[in-house]
A = this chain, B = another copy of it.
């Protein structure tokens, strides 16, 4: 289903909000791609800490408090990813579409059904 071309997509709106947030605080000087990747990495670390002692089953039934923390960390990761893509001139959704096509070829259903291995792995 095509998106309405005259409606600025939600990702572009978010990208613009984050641009303004940084400009207002004179933070662009710190937002080199190198630094943004480190900040993204730091937030993924915080995301990981939510789950580190949980079993896979417990990870599927989070407490109210952990759910709240998870929402914040997912937001933090998303915002740095949008910022990094913006600074590096990468269209996130277009990059995802290309990768899905590549993955379909790399992980054919008949070879990968029910298997976590890369299909040429022992």
Contact = CB atoms under 8 A, between A and B. Distances in A.
Interface in A98-122: 98-100, 102-104, 107, 109, 112-114, 116, 122
A63 to B, nearest CB: 8
Contacts of A57: 32
B60 A33 contact: yes
A46 B79 CA distance: 18
A9 B3 contact: yes
B113 A25 contact: yes
B51 A48 contact: no
A30 B53 contact: yes
A47 B13 CA distance: 24
Nearest to A99: B75
Given A45-B46, A78-B95, A84-B74, A53 B116 contact: yes
Given A51-B38, A56-B34, A59-B34, A95 B75 contact: yes
A93 to B, nearest CB: 5
A42 B37 CA distance: 11
Given A3-B4, A3-B7, A74-B88, 9 more contacts: A17-B100, A29-B114, A37-B48, A41-B47, A42-B52, A74-B84, A74-B90, A75-B92, A77-B81
